[in-house]
Amino acid sequence: MPQVVIIGANGQLGTDLQLALRGCRVIGLSHADLDVRDAARAREVISRHRPDVLINTSAFQRVDACEDEPGMAFAVNAVAAYELARLARALDCILVHFSSDYVFDGRERTPYAEDALPNPLNVYGTSKLAGEYLVGHFCPRHFVIRTSGLYGVVGSRSKGGNFVETMIRLGKSGAPVRVVADQVSSPTASVDLAAAMAALVQRADQVPYGVYHVTNAGQCSWHEFAQAIFELSEMQVDVSPITSDELGAKALRPAFSVLDHQRWLQAGFQELRPWRDALRDYLRTPRPERRRIGEA
């Protein structure tokens, strides 16, 4: 039974990971327990637990805010990843580190393979790519997991919720909802990603280390995702498509960032279920369990 330390254990993915890894000895470290920017503290706390597997879910992921705070983005997404990689190597443990579809520029129209050439368009993607390279170089026993569009019952602490709950809240307001239709990816339920990581942990020494793409199957635009949210919630909402230019976000986003899962499948793991099935189950979760950070 491996001993697993989860950094960011009270976040969206960390919460689901703790549930999915109940067959392991799990030590969950919240931001209050450990700020990954404090390398000395991280070494002290993590070394004390002697993990077999170290899972890093921490990230500075407010994409537009990264444009204004590149120092913070690189401190959390790159420098902290470097320090954790060095620590994992010193402890001879496996490091599982999460990255993003935003390492790609979105100019392709077929899903990106793991060995496709990255070319991020924004500070967030650049900082995540730097973290990938540092983890890969300094920790031989590593898994870099690229995923996209995460949503879960706890919600993203840094974003104050998730896209699904934001859409439901806007839909209930009665006002028209406008959502970008020219950005296509694969929305991913954090409960499904967590289950996939539990399977990975159980076989971690039997599969090749390196980069893997893990998302729910299928693809859609954010506008199509919003339409599905309202349809499955049985809400009548006027939801209109807009372009990224009309949205006017500070950071550029890739127009197409769907990830190919071939390497994950070749390693003997199962394809995650289609995004629409995952969304349907999420929406069936009892309302008190689907809360944004800070709500009762």
| Residues with a known catalytic role | 124
**Contact by Cβ (8 Å): 104, 260:** no
What SS3 class is residue 243? Answer: coil
Helix/strand/coil for 280: helix
User: Which residues, including other chains, have CB under 8 Å from residue 48's CB and lie 6 or more apart?
Assistant: none
**Residue type present at position 232:** L
CA distance 179 to 175: 13
Map tokens 């879960």 to a residue: 152
Question: How far apart, in whole angstroms, are the C-alpha atoms of residue 24 and residue 94?
Answer: 14
Report the alpha-carbon angle 59-62-68, nearest 5: 110
